[in-house]
Amino acid sequence: MEPVQLSVADQVVLVTGASRGIGHDLALAFAAAGATVVAAARRVEDVADLVDEIAAGGGQAIAVDLDVTDRESIDAAVGAALSELGRIDVLVNNAGLGFNHDALEVTEADWDQIMDVNLKGLFFVTQAVARGMVERGYGRIVNLGSQAGLVGIRRHAVYSASKGGVDLLTKVLALEWAPHGVTVNVVAPTYAYTPGTAERLDDPEVAADVLARIPTGRFASTADIAAAVLYLASPSAGMVTGTVLPVDGGWTAQ
């Protein structure tokens, strides 16, 4: 039997949307696992403390400006990472937006804002990074989806459409790049308590309603999500591609 290689030590990992929440904690998890982290955010100043924290813990990280809605910014960020580190082994597409809208109240601006980040931006970051992966014959791409891409959730019309699009886009990219040693997968979390969700989940009525839908009876933690991402980013996940892995406490099993 071949040895199981779950380690991401010595891998170069680009994490988008790394300034806070899930992305911030994913960057820390990869650094703790021995990877070199490229922490990407719209403003490099927003990930300066993260890079310092990783360095203080003995890890390696660099920061890059990356606005996923700007093609020039994407190309510049990927180019900077390649110039300094030589390669990108793992891409974690974490950057995303989520708002609640009644479907009858959604504006064109609402639609464009969410789609530009969650779907269009994710695709063009992936395209830019995957060129090098395909050329080298190795890569791991993990897209952060959502349970809202798998089941309907009221007041999430645009968000659900964007995340459902990520799921199917992932399957297509997995098919195209599998012959080149590049896997593409989705991790689809349930609600996790982060700075981005705190305003809603701090409302006792909202929290109770959400927890009633999660069979395990708790919100996801960023550690729960990181465990799934780290597995799919590892060398031993080479036969897992085009999949959506829910980290949802059983929400979508109902």
Identified catalytic residue from 159, 171, 191, 193: 159
Phi-psi region for residue 108, left (φ > 0), alpha (ψ -120 to 50) or beta?
Answer: alpha
CA-CA distance, 85 to 175, in Å (whole number)? 28
Helices (H) and strands (E) counted in the chain, each on its own, are: 9, 7
- Helix, strand, coil percentages (3-state) for the chain, rounded to 5, are 50, 15, 30
In the residue annotation, 163 being an active-site residue is answered as yes
CA distance 71 to 195: 27
Catalytic residue among 163, 191, 193, 231: 163
Is 120 one of the catalytic residues? Answer: no
Of 40, 85, 88, 48, nearest to 65 (Cα)? Answer: 40
Catalytic residues: 159, 163
